[in-house]
Amino acid sequence: MIKQINHVAILVEDLDASLSFWRDALGIPVGKTEVNPGENVNIAFLPLGDSEIELLEPISADSALGKFLAKRGQGMHHICVEVDDIDATMQRLAEHGVQMINDAPKSREDGTRYAFVHPKSTSGVLVELYELPKA
Amino acid sequence: MIKQINHVAILVEDLDASLSFWRDALGIPVGKTEVNPGENVNIAFLPLGDSEIELLEPISADSALGKFLAKRGQGMHHICVEVDDIDATMQRLAEHGVQMINDAPKSREDGTRYAFVHPKSTSGVLVELYELPKA
């Protein structure tokens, strides 16, 4: 039911400076980069084994991620856990009294369904759930 | 050279409360638990795919992890990246001017060699390097 860590997202001030560590020094190739205008963020995706490291650089100080960066500083932002069936997982979490940020799954363009669990239910960690589109 | 995410370590105030989310609600089985008297910490290891989530509960407020918890609160503490050859990796990092916490690899009882990279060189993330013992 719970498959693997899909990605670990790291919030950074300067994507190029961060890539100089993760890509250039450590040697993890960048899979792709993208600008997400909806969330005002530049993203670099670095596949690593069955998981991925995502580097997030807020473009705007007014965005949710920009405010988070100003308040908490750089560092790990969330961990994403891949599940088979996000509806079943969320039902199970609800039965255990776990508080969600998203009451229902949202969908990305590629069909990935996702929802965030509130850190108050997870010992302070922002946890994202992913259900990838079925092949 | 860089193989995969070995584990993500989460610092928690109360291991039982944290397990009520990760184990009971989310349904990730606990692989093992241990008390690490050297570091004054209770640890639960939850294997997940090729990686692992480690929940760390400081036993003593005076320990390094206890002080970190008091200062920064609960949340993700470090990410551990598994490499083939930690000596070669550290030499490469040094050539790129990356600052280490450990200037030379340390060893665990099981033969795992490890070293921590300083967050000032990684966009604020505490990164651990692991070289597992050869089979």
Phi-psi region of B98 (alpha: psi -120 to 50; beta: other; left: phi over 0): beta
Q: For A34, phi and psi rounded to 5 degrees?
A: -150, 155
Chain B residues touching A24 at Cβ < 8 A: 96
pLDDT in tens, A72-131: 999 999 999 999 999 999 999 999 999 999 999 999 989 999 999 999 999 999 999 999
State the best of B16, B68, B76 to mutate against chain A, taking most chain A CBs within 10 Å.
B76
ipTM of the complex: 0.94
Phi-psi region of B40 (alpha: psi -120 to 50; beta: other; left: phi over 0): left
Contact A26, B2 (CB under 8 A): yes
| pLDDT level of residue A60 (50, 70, 90 thresholds) | very high
Judged by CB atoms closer than 8 Å, whether chains meet at A89 and B26 is answered as yes
DSSP symbol at A100: B
Q: What are the pLDDT tens digits along chain B (135 aa)?
A: 899 999 999 999 999 999 999 999 999 999 999 998 888 999 999 999 999 999 999 999 999 999 999 999 999 999 999 999 999 999 999 999 999 999 999 998 899 999 999 999 999 999 999 999 987
CATH architecture of the region A2-131: Roll (3.10)
* β B75-83/B127-131 pair status: parallel
**Cα–Cα dist A128/A133, whole Å:** 16
Which among B5, B122, B125 has the least Cβ separation from residue A51? B5
Q: Establish how many alpha carbons lie within 13 A of residue B124's alpha carbon, considering only the half-sphere containing its beta carbon.
A: 19
- Closest approach of chain A CAs to the CA of B68, in angstroms? 14
Does A29 touch chain B if contact means CB atoms closer than 8 Å? no
**Cα–Cα dist B48/B6, whole Å:** 10
Chain A residues touching B5 at Cβ < 8 A: 5, 8, 48-49, 51, 53
Does A75 touch chain B if contact means CB atoms closer than 8 Å? yes
Written as one letter, the residue type at B11 is L
What's this model's pTM, rounded to 2 decimal places?
Answer: 0.95
**Cα–Cα dist B110/B96, whole Å:** 30
Q: Which residues contact B109 (CB under 8 A, 6 or more apart)?
A: none
* Per-residue CA distances from A133 to A85, A108, A109, B82 (Å): 10, 10, 10, 29
Structure tokens at B100: 């280490």
Which among B10, B50, B119 has the least Cβ separation from residue A123? B10
**Cα–Cα dist A16/A11, whole Å:** 13
- pLDDT above 80: residue A135: no
pLDDT of residue B134: 86
Is the alpha carbon torsion for B77, B83, B85, B88 positive or negative? negative
Chain B residues touching A119 at Cβ < 8 A: 75
pLDDT of residue A38: 81
* Per-residue CA distances from A19 to A11, A27, B4, B47, B84 (Å): 12, 10, 17, 28, 21
